[in-house]
A = this chain, B = another copy of it.
Amino acid sequence: MQKHQLKQVIEALLFVAEQPLTESQLAEQVESQQITKKQIRDVLDELQRDYQERGVQLRKVASGYRFQTRAELGDIISNLWQEKPTKYSQALLETLALIAYRQPITRGDIEEIRGVSVSSQIMKTLQERGWIKVVGQREVPGRPQLYATTPEFLDYFSLQDLAELPDIPEPPSQVKDAGQSTQITAATATETE
């Protein structure tokens, strides 16, 4: 396959796939053509440059590459739909922020910091959206479930990994949790303690 055609194929695949595609997935799609990952990466770089100034851009998010519209066009484009996009409540955003920044975390931890009981509706919504999931249990009495964010959470916010989240102050540790790590990296998502 010539490079010109490879580029067309990758471009077309990215525009029709339901989900973002990784380099490996793209390589797999054209595997019969003996294409190296390096060639795929070069094409992706080139496509990213090609679309730099266009209405849609090639973005890398947690679960792969996808074409998406420029952020600044959001207002005009959202007119296409009758419904207004969902506005998330402060309570939901705080809960999500706690899970994103302090994962893995139990519901009890969330309640302690927010000072209110966590509504089951919020946890259900976050799980239904595929943004959070149970990654284990803390080995204390009651074995509470530990929650972490998912790649879909990152995709939704067009992030590649948790390190891209804007910084917030690290948790104060003078009273307890002195040993708790404050480094937020994508790896924490799979930690089960």
Contact = CB atoms under 8 A, between A and B. Distances in A.
Nearest to A14: B55
Contact of A55 (B11, B55, B73, B76): B11
Interface residues of A, number: 24
Interface string A37-56: 00000000000000001111
A55 B17 contact: no
A16 interface: yes
Interface string A5-29: 0011111110111000000000001
A30 interface: yes
Interface string A91-134: 00000000000000000000000000000000000000000000
A7 B80 contact: no
Interface string A72-96: 0100110110000000000000000
A53 B77 CA distance: 26
B17 A56 contact: no
Given A12-B69, A12-B70, A13-B55, 5 more contacts: A9-B73, A10-B55, A11-B54, A12-B55, A16-B69
